[in-house]
Amino acid sequence: MKLIEISQKDCVGCRLCEMVCSLSHEGECSTTGSRIKVLRDEEFGNNLVSVCLQCADPKCMEACASNAITRDEGTGIVKIDTEACIGCEICIDSCRWAQLPWTQRNLWPSSATSAEATRSA
């Protein structure tokens, strides 16, 4: 399995990682289709790269009203089924690390196994 290594101190905020992620998984260069989000703190000039941390005890999964968030028994990866997701955003509020990227289309753009994308480039 491939992993993404993030260096917060080296991030210049170009958002190229978002574009490559979107192109790789959605077939288009669009920041709205990315599973990686780069957030800019304008006050201090910092960039924060945000991806799902694949928690051992995911509070988002517990909070999901439609059971759209599950853990794959084979890989251990937390997945979001976008077909089952009702878009209530309770999972976002329940994430203790605030790492669930919500897109304009839905959580984890189009693929039902998109959570795997936070672990592979």
Pairing relationship of beta strands 46-50 and 69-71 according to DSSP bridges: unpaired
CATH number of 11-118: 3.30.70.20
What pTM does this model have? Answer: 0.63
pLDDT in tens, 30-47: 887 788 888 888 898 888
pLDDT in tens, 30-89: 887 788 888 888 898 888 888 888 889 999 999 999 999 999 888 888 888 878 988 888
Task: Let me know if 71 is exposed, middle or buried by CB neighbors in 10 A (0-12, 13-18, 19+).
Answer: middle
Identify the residue whose tokens are 């005890």.
Answer: 57
Residues recorded for the chain: 121
